[in-house]
């Protein structure tokens, strides 16, 4: 019986390890599935300290917005937008706009109609429209 006991323990350990390797965590399965989120859920806690926005248009033209009131209002509007986070969205190049939000000279947040702070999203026409409005509002001032 002494010979069988160590062998039995080894077999139990091997079976337990194999069973543990095959276990799928329910939390990790949904990571790759598209999920709806508000843009403001990506904001850093201190987004209210933002004091400059730099915009890059697809044609290469750049603009800087440093009117704090305009920045706060725009971030409030953008924060309410629902986007579909989709980590499986195929990569692509170019974007209609790329918006970078700064606190002094420190980048705090970045978004485009296809990504929010590095997370891929389904193309958001609502985001693109708000970016276009900000671009045009700055031209009218």
Measured from the Cβ of residue 5, the count of other Cβ atoms closer than 10 Å reads: 9
Instruction: Name which of 15-29, 89-103, 110-124 the model is least confident about.
Output: 15-29
Distance CA 127, CA 98 (A): 11
60-86 tens-digit pLDDT: 999 999 999 999 999 999 999 999 998
* Average pLDDT of the segment spanning 119-124: 92
Predicted local confidence at residue 87, as pLDDT: 83
DSSP notation for 22-86: H---HHHHGGGS-EEEEGGGGS-TTGGG--EEEEEETTS-EEEE--HHHHHHHHHHHHT-EEEE-
Domain boundaries, the chain: 33-140
Q: Which token pair is 130?
A: 């708000």
14-47 tens-digit pLDDT: 655 555 554 444 333 445 788 999 999 999 999 9
Predicted local confidence at residue 23, as pLDDT: 45
* Average pLDDT of the segment spanning 100-123: 93
* CATH number for the domain formed by residue range(s) 33-140: 2.60.40
pTM: 0.72
């Amino acid at each position: 019986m002494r010979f069988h006991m160590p062998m039995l323990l080894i077999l139990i350990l091997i079976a337990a390890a194999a069973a543990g390797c095959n276990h799928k965590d329910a939390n990790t399965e949904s990571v790759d599935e598209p999920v709806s989120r508000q843009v403001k859920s990506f904001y850093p806690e201190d987004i209210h300290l933002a004091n400059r926005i730099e915009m890059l248009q697809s044609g290469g033209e750049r603009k800087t917005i440093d009117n704090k009131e305009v920045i706060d209002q725009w971030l409030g509007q953008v924060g309410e937008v629902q986007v579909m986070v989709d980590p499986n969205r195929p990569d692509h190049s170019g974007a209609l706009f790329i918006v970078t939000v700064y606190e002094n000279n420190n980048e705090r947040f970045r978004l485009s109609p296809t990504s929010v702070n590095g997370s891929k999203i389904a193309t958001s026409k609502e985001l693109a429209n708000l970016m276009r409005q900000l671009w045009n509002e700055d031209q009218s001032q």
